[in-house]
A and B are shown apart, each in its own frame.
Chain A
Amino acid sequence: MREEIRTDTCWVRIDGERLDADSAYAFVVSDRAGAVDLFIGTTRRWTGDHETTGLSYEAYVEMAIDEMMRLCTETLTRWPIVRACIHHRIGEVAPSQASVVVAVSSPHRADAFEACRFLIDRLKEDVPIWKRERFADGTEDWVRPMG
C-alpha cells in the first residue's frame, strides 16, 4: 500500500514498501537551498544486549498523512525552509532498514538542522503510527502501549 500528499513544497508518504531516501533528497534539493538535512531512522536490532529480531508498524493512515502534512507546513512557517518531506514505512521492516526518512532544505544549514529535528521529534509524539517488536525469545509486543 502507499498513500501520499505531494505539493510544490511538501511531500508526505506512508509506504508498505522499502523507503527510498534518494527520492526524498531529490524532492527537497533546490537551487534556492544551500543545505539539505536528511534524517533516516533505521530499525535497531540491538538495544544494549537486548535483541529485537523483527519490527512492524501499523498506522491510522488517513490521519497520519494529514498530521505529517501539518508538521511539514508548520516547518515552512517557522523556518525559511524551501521544501520538506516525510516518508514513513508500515508493515514488516527488517532490522537495519529505514522506517522513516525526513528531508528538509533551506538556504543555510542551521535552519535545516532545526527543522529536520523538529519534524522527527514531533512525528514521534503526534503522528498515529505504532511499532510492534518481536524478540529473540519469540515473544512480541507493542512498544510502550501506556506511554
Chain B
Amino acid sequence: MDKMGRGVVTVRFFAVLRERVGTPSIEIAYSEPLTVEGLLTAVQELHPAFKPFRDYVRVAVNKRYAGLDQALSAGDEVAFITPVSGG
C-alpha cells in the first residue's frame, strides 16, 4: 500500500473454491485502504461463484489466519480457506 492507500494483493483458492471460481489465484487492485472483510466483498462481486462460500471461509494473510478487520498491504498473499478436511 502506498501513501494513497493503493496496492495489489494476490488471492489464492484451493480445492472446491479453486474449482468453483475456476482459477487458482487472482489479483485484486485497490485504491483505498483495504481490510480482509473488504476483500471478501470485492471478490464476491467479481466472482459470484464465491458467494455461497463467503460465510464459511477463513482468511489467511501471508500464511497466517487473520481477522476480518486486518488491514492489507500491497503484495500480501491472501488465501480463502474453506473448512479443511485433512488427516
Contact = CB atoms under 8 A, between A and B. Distances in A.
Q: Using C-beta atoms within 8 Å of the partner chain, give the interface range for chain A.
A: 20 to 34
Contacts of A117: none
A62 B82 contact: no
B85 A143 contact: yes
Nearest to A125: B84
8 contacts: A59-B14, A60-B12, A63-B63, A63-B64, A130-B85, A142-B15, A142-B16, A145-B83
B60 interface: yes
Interface of B: 12, 14-17, 52-53, 56, 60, 63-65, 79, 81-87
A106 B85 CA distance: 28
A63 B66 CA distance: 13
Contacts of A64: 86
Contacts of A66: 63-64
Contacts of A76: none
A145 B84 contact: no
